[in-house]
Amino acid sequence: MALLSGTDALGETRRPRPEPGYVAWLGTVQFASAVTVGELFLGAYRAAAGCRDVAMIEDRVVPAVTILPFDAVVAKVYGRFAADLADQEAPLANADLQISATGLHHDLELVTGNLRHVGRVPGHRIRLLRSST
Residue 62 included in any domain: yes
Q: CA-to-CA distance for 59 and 81, rounded, in angstroms?
A: 34
Q: If you average pLDDT over every residue of the chain, what do you get?
A: 82
34-53 confidence digits (pLDDT tens): 999 999 999 999 988 778 88
φ, ψ of residue 107 to 5 degrees: the values are 55, 50
Residues 36/6, Cβ–Cβ less than 8 Å: yes
Q: Which of 102, 116, 107 is nearest to 39 (CA)?
A: 102
SS3 of 52, please? helix
Per the domain annotation, does 133 fall within a domain? no
Band (pLDDT 50/70/90 cuts) for residue 131 is very low
130 confidence band (pLDDT: 50, 70, 90) = low
Q: Summarize the confidence of residues 93-119 as an average pLDDT.
A: 82
pTM for this structure?
Answer: 0.82
Task: Answer yes or no: is 51 within a domain.
Answer: yes
In total, how many domains does the chain have? 1
- Overall residue count recorded for the chain in this entry: 133
- Confidence band (pLDDT; 50, 70, 90) for 132? very low
Query: Does some domain include residue 68?
Result: yes
Residue 67 lies in a domain: yes
Residue 117 pLDDT greater than 70, yes or no: no
> Minimal CA–CA distance to 114: which of 4, 37, 28?
4
The domain spanning residue 100 has which CATH number? 3.40.50.1010
Domain span at residue 65? 3-128
